[in-house]
């Protein structure tokens, strides 16, 4: 079974600075997908960015980018120019290419933005 680990329960960053959230995962599969979800105080789950394992190029979405290291099974999220609206819980998630489209989530990192 796949597992996802987020070793930073809480992080904080100064507004306009850059922060990196860590995520590692364990799998025996070669093809899979990785996601970062944001959960603001409203509790809504919002997809931030996704990465296909077969792609070497790191995904980027505006101020959000990932550092995907397949051999190390690492998938970190970098947030540039942090804004107050980025304050939220961030979850890393894994999805197998096969079968059930289940997302396996990490335990989350709570990000605080310091004005």
* Spatial CA neighbour of 18 closest among 68, 100, 77, 71: 77
* Nearer CB in complex with other proteins: 13/106: 106
The least CB distance from residue 37 to other proteins, in Å, is 8
Closer by beta carbon to other proteins, 81 or else 97: 97
Write down the least CB distance from residue 45 to other proteins, Å: 4
Task: Write down the least CB distance from residue 43 to other proteins, Å.
Answer: 5
CA distances from 17 to 33, 35, 43, 77 (A): 28, 23, 25, 14
User: Tokens in use for 103?
Assistant: 């997302």
**62-71 — which CB contacts under 8 Å span 24+ positions?**
64/36, 66/34, 66/36, 67/20, 68/34
Residues that bind other proteins (CB under 8 A): 4, 33, 42-45, 47, 50, 52, 91, 97, 100-103, 105-108
88 CB neighbour count, 10 Å cutoff: 21
Using the minimum distance from each CB to other proteins, give the nearer residue, 15 or 31: 31
Kindly state the smallest distance separating residue 64's Cβ from other proteins, in Å: 15
């Amino acid at each position: 079974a796949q597992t996802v680990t987020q070793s930073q329960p809480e992080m904080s960053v100064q507004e306009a600075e850059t922060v990196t959230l860590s995520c590692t995962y364990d799998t025996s599969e070669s093809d899979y997908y990785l996601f970062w979800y944001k959960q603001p105080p409203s509790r809504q789950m919002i997809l931030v960015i996704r990465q296909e394992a077969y792609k070497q190029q790191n995904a980027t979405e505006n101020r959000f980018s990932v550092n995907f290291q397949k051999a190390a099974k690492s998938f970190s999220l970098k947030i540039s120019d942090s804004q107050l609206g980025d304050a939220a819980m961030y979850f890393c998630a894994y999805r197998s290419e096969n079968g059930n489209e289940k997302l396996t989530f990490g335990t989350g990192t709570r990000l605080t933005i310091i004005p």
